[in-house]
Each structure stands twice: as structure tokens, then as C-alpha cells.
């Protein structure tokens, strides 16, 4: 297959820049009830008719549970240094707390050992959306007890894996799973309304800090981070109403889960609705428990947002709109492609004094991949990565402390409410045979990363 040459080299990003690729437990593992695993909120959600757009489920997914060695070898083959994956909470604790599942513990030991044998650095995410269903029956993230359950789960993981793994991600996109799952109802557990969203936000932040403190206490030399979904916000026009709408959207999408971590409290001035957390869901002692001195913040940016004021939109009073007077390229999901947007959000986050370093812990694109003659020519995805990495390089050259880029995702997988119709992988997966086929984008990364690795040895 014809190769594309990137407009930059690995060396342009520096010797210590991290190159990684990402998967998650629920989206990849399958084996939904194998070897003692408990049921998660996503197991429950996908069993409800009409919740997944293509009517599929993740009972098998792409079978990482049985094919992890093959997939980890692919990570190495493509030239990456880091493999980021998540641990399934209900695989470790089938009832959310209490009795530990030894088969689940053993599985992640095998995955970690396989990474280390291949010379890969594991970055492990502790929570990537698959809450044990038994905890949801008690209220899930809306119930304060989940904080203590999460802390227990983290302690078990640190006891088991902390001597092998030093790089930990506490939460994956807390705004994503609280807004989509506890306010809009389109993701698990399918709850709808502000009365679910606000307590979930508060309890997630408390659990995040509590879990991070456990890691710091138990793992010597730990490198601890958490990841935030974020989108640079543009006002639709320069009218005051749209400018204020952009500030409100920024408070919700980009600052809600960042500023409390930095000891700044909730961004109530720009999003007054958040005062309800203070009045209804917070205890007096909570305010000292929201913050943590993270070693890095993970930035997960896929698209920018253009917003304008909409007085008819309930609760938020804003709407996402198409850019004014300009056409933009988009992915198969209609997401705007903008490396400049990634650069802008990196610059915005780097302005916070409490942030030590940034890692782009997810970045990728879905396109309508077509296999022809045993090959997948996803040149649109190659162009996407070129643009987004150019945004990272621009930030880095300006002194912004961005120290890594992790591509989403290694293999096509179960993409939450989209099912299997949204393909993000560098590697194509035939869901009937589970055969893996490296796409053009995978070869592109291999050329970029291996070429400079070889030249660097000379």
C-alpha cells in the first residue's frame, strides 16, 4: 500500500514525548460474564431495546479478553511506547465491593505482564464508564456511598498491580459519563435530568480525589493523572449574547471537572446552576476533598464547538450550531475536524498554574472505512492525525507542556451508543472472524514512529 509521509518527524516532538494507543475494557474485552465477572451498567444498558443505534451489544466485542496478546503485539508492531487500557471494576469486584474475583485479578496481571514483555509502558485507567450494576441499583454516582466503594476498588488495584505499574489514570472523561448517562440519558445508566447530573458530578469529583490519594499513598513513584473531555468553544457571533453563551458553555464543558481539582471550586459565576451543588448535595467538609495535585491532566479532544444563545433550550440556554459563514471538514459522526481547536484547548488548559503537564490521552476519528482486496485505505484518518499532531507540535513549540499523544483507538470496537457502526481503529476488525487487519493509518504511525526510532539509534 502506498505510504504517506508525515509533515513532521518523531524527533520534532522530543526524545521523551510519549506515543501511545488506547482501548477500554467494556469496548474491547467481551467475555461479559466469564470467569466470575459481575454485570456492569453498560451490560444492563445494552440489553435494553433501542438504546444502541445498530442494535448490537458488547458480549463479545473484539474479544480482547482472549486475544490480548495478539493486540499487545500489534501495539508494539505499530511502534507505540505506551499502551493505555482500563480495568473493569465489576471484573475485579463483581458486587462492587466485598469479595474479590481472583480470575479478574489474574487476567490483568497477564495483560500487564504481556505489556512489559513487549517493552510497552502500561497506562491504566481505573474507571472507564463500566460501573458495577449492583452499585447503580443503590443510586450509582448519585449516591454518596459510591465514593467509598471506588476507594476500596482502587486500594485493591494498587495492592495487586502497584509494584508493576506506575502510571495511573483515575477517571476517563467524567463530564462525558455524567452528562450523557445522568442528564441526557443516552448512555448508561440512562438517567435524565439535572437532579441526577449535579449529585453525580459532585460525587465523581470526590471519588476522583479520594482514589488519587490512595494511589499516592500506596504506590511509590506513581505518576497520577485523570482525563478530561474538552472542546474549545467559539461564539457564533460577536454579539454579547453569544459571547456570554460561549463562556457558559466553556464553564460546563471545559472547566466543571478541572477547576475543582485545582482548588478553585465550581465555575458558578459563568454557570450559576452549579450553585445547586453547594446548596443541595455538598457537605461542609467536601470543599477540602475535591482537589488533588495531579502529575498530569489528560486532554481528550475530538472537536471544537460553536455555540449561541438559545433562550428556549432548557437548563443551559445555549445551543451548538454550525460555524457561521464557513464550511468545515467533518468525520463520519459529523464532528468538526480542527487541529487548531486542539491547539487552542491545550493553550487554555496550560494557562492554569496548577497544571504541571498535559498529555493528549485520546484523539481519533471515525470514518466509513471500506475494506478492499484485504486492505483498508483510510487516508481521511491519516489526514486527521496529521492535522491534530500539527496542533500538538505547534503547542509544544510555544512552550506548552504537552508531553504525549495517545491515539484512539487500537482496534475498531464497540463505540458505546453508536454500536459498531463508528469505526475509530488503526486496525480493522472483522466482527465475525475477529481477524485483525492494519489500516493505512496504522502503517502511517508505524512509518512515523519506527523510522525515527531506527535513525535515533545510529
Instruction: Quickly state the pLDDT bin for 325 (edges 50, 70, 90).
Output: low
Measure the CA angle with vertex 154, ends 149 and 155; round to 5°. Answer: 100
**Which residues are CB-contacts of 106 (< 8 A; sequence separation ≥ 6)?**
none
Q: pLDDT tens for residues 346-372?
A: 999 999 999 999 999 999 999 999 999
Q: Domain locations in the chain?
A: 10-457
The C-alpha cell of 270 is what?
459563568
Asked whether the CA dihedral 361, 210, 25, 365 is positive or negative, the reply is: negative
Average pLDDT score over residue span 117-142:
98
**Mean pLDDT score of the chain, rounded to an integer?**
96
Higher pLDDT: 311 or 280? It is: 280
Output the pLDDT for position 458: 32
The pTM for the full model equals: 0.97
Dihedral (CA of 231, 232, 233, 236) sign = negative
Cis previous bond, 409, omega within 30: yes
- Residue 452 pLDDT: 52
pLDDT, tens only, 379-412: 999 999 999 999 999 999 999 999 999 999 999 9
**218: which residues sit within 8 A by CB, 6+ positions away?**
155, 158, 159, 162
pLDDT at 456: 45
Handedness of CA 173, 336, 448, 344 (dihedral sign): negative
Choose among 20, 112, 28, 128: nearest CA to 75: 20
Whether the pLDDT of residue 294 is over 60: the answer is yes
Cα separation of 340 and 127, whole Å? 29
| 413 backbone φψ class: left, alpha, beta (φ>0; ψ -120 to 50) | beta
* Active-site annotation, residues: 173, 362
Q: What is the pLDDT confidence band of residue 197, given thresholds at 50, 70 and 90?
A: very high
Q: Is 90 exceeded by the pLDDT of residue 75?
A: yes
Residues near 435 by beta carbon (within 8 Å), at least 6 away in sequence: 429
Output the CATH code of domain 10-457. Answer: 3.20.20.80
DSSP state of 38: P
CA distance 72 to 67: 9
Q: Which of 2-16, 142-156, 383-397 has the lowest mean pLDDT?
A: 2-16
Residue 193 reports pLDDT greater than 90: yes
- For cell 482500563, the residue is 86
**pLDDT cut 70: percent of the chain above it:** 97
Confidence tier at 6 by pLDDT (50, 70, 90): confident
Instruction: Assess contact for 388 and 366: CB atoms under 8 A.
Output: no
According to the model, what pLDDT value does residue 5 have? 73
Q: Which tens digits make up the pLDDT trace of 224-279?
A: 999 999 999 999 999 999 999 999 999 999 999 999 999 999 999 999 999 999 99
Amino acid at each position: 500500500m502506498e505510504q504517506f509521509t508525515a509533515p513532521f518527524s518523531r524527533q520534532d516532538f522530543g526524545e521523551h514525548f510519549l506515543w501511545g494507543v488506547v482501548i477500554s475494557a467494556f469496548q474491547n474485552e467481551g467475555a461479559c460474564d466469564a470467569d466470575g465477572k459481575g454485570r456492569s451498567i453498560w451490560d444492563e444498558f445494552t440489553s435494553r431495546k433501542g438504546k444502541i443505534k445498530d442494535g448490537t451489544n458488547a458480549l463479545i466485542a473484539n474479544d480482547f479478553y482472549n486475544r490480548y496478546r495478539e493486540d499487545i503485539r500489534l501495539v508494539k508492531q505499530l511502534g507505540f511506547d505506551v499502551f493505555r487500557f482500563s480495568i473493569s471494576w465489576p471484573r475485579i469486584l463483581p458486587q462492587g465491593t466485598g469479595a474479590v474475583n481472583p480470575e479478574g485479578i489474574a487476567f490483568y496481571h497477564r495483560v500487564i505482564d504481556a505489556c512489559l514483555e513487549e517493552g510497552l509502558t502500561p497506562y491504566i485507567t481505573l474507571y472507564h464508564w463500566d460501573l458495577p450494576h449492583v452499585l447503580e441499583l443503590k443510586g450509582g454516582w448519585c449516591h454518596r456511598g459510591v465514593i467509598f466503594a471506588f476507594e476500596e476498588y482502587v486500594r485493591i488495584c494498587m495492592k495487586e498491580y502497584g509494584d508493576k505499574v506506575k502510571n495511573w489514570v483515575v477517571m476517563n472523561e467524567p463530564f462525558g459519563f455524567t452528562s450523557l448517562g445522568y442528564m441526557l440519558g443516552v448512555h448508561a445508566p440512562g438517567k435524565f435530568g439535572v437532579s441526577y447530573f449535579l449529585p453525580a458530578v459532585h460525587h465523581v469529583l470526590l471519588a476522583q480525589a479520594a482514589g488519587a490519594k490512595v494511589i499516592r499513598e500506596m504506590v511509590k513513584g506513581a505518576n497520577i493523572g485523570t482525563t478530561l473531555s474538552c472542546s474549545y468553544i467559539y461564539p457564533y457571533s460577536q454579539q454579547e449574547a453569544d459571547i456570554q453563551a460561549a463562556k457558559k458553555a466553556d464553564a460546563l464543558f471545559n472547566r466543571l471537572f478541572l477547576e475543582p481539582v485545582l482548588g478553585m471550586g465550581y465555575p458558578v459565576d459563568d454557570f450559576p446552576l452549579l450553585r445547586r451543588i453547594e446548596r443541595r448535595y455538598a457537605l461542609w467538609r467536601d470543599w477540602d476533598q475535591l482537589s488533588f495535585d495531579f502529575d498530569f491532566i489528560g486532554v481528550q479532544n475530538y472537536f471544537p464547538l460553536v455555540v449561541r444563545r438559545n433562550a428556549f433550550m432548557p437548563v443551559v440556554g445555549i445551543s451548538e450550531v454550525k460555524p457561521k459563514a464557513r464550511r468545515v471538514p467533518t468525520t463520519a459522526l459529523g464532528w468538526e475536524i480542527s487541529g487548531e481547536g486542539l491547539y487552542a484547548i491545550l493553550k487554555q488548559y496550560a494557562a492554569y498554574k496548577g497544571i504541571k503537564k498535559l498529555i493528549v490521552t485520546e484523539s481519533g476519528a471515525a470514518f466509513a472505512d471500506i475494506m478492499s482486496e484485504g486492505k483498508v485505505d483510510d487516508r481521511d484518518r491519516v489526514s486527521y492525525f496529521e492535522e491534530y499532531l500539527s496542533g500538538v507540535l505547534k503547542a509544544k513549540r510555544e512552550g506548552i507542556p504537552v508531553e504525549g499523544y495517545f491515539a484512539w483507538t487500537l482496534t475498531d470496537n464497540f463505540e458505546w451508543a453508536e454500536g459498531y457502526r463508528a469505526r475509530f481503529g488503526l486496525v480493522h476488525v472483522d466482527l465475525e472472524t475477529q481477524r485483525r487487519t492494519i489500516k493505512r493509518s496504522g502503517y502511517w504511525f508505524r512509518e512515523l514512529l519506527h523510522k525515527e526510532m531506527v535513525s535515533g539509534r545510529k
